Amino acid sequence: MALHGERILIVEDETLIALSLASEITELGGNVVGKVMSVDSALDIIATTDLDGAILDVNLGGQRAFLVADALAARHVPFVFATATSREDIPARHANVPWFEKPYGFDAICQMLEGMCSRNSGE
């Protein structure tokens, strides 16, 4: 399993989880371009940065992150939901996005992201 320098955005409001995800991504050869804790910060990075993938928590300090999911989808950036939010709360437009419920295994998320990034780049 390797991320071959893919640029990954982490959108997570729990610092320890964000740091653990960043460590896993870096170990697998990925490049973490940001660890952000809010919808606005995520939207800023999405608008200004080339991304290959993202890991998205749905609940960011009480604010839903579906605008972030919409922005990622509009830019054709593959992403996964990694959240404590129930799958039933995910809007239908994002029903096909891979979803991991907390507590989750970091390996499973990184493996899914690796496959998505590879397909997106045509490898």
DSSP H or E run through 84: none
Judged against a pLDDT cut of 80, whether residue 10 lies above it is answered with: yes
This prediction has a pTM of 0.88
Beta-bridge mates of residue 80: 55
Please tell me whether residue 27 adopts helix, strand or coil conformation.
helix
40-62 pLDDT per residue, tens: 999 999 999 999 999 999 999 88
**CATH assignment of 7-113, given 3.30.2130.30, 3.40.50.2300, 2.102.10.10, 3.40.50.410?**
3.40.50.2300
Q: Facing residues of 100 across strands?
A: 82
pLDDT in tens, 62-108: 899 999 999 999 999 999 998 887 788 889 999 999 888 877 777 77
pLDDT of residue 7: 95
Segments making up each domain of the chain, as ranges: 7-113
Sign of torsion over alpha carbons 101, 83, 74, 117: negative
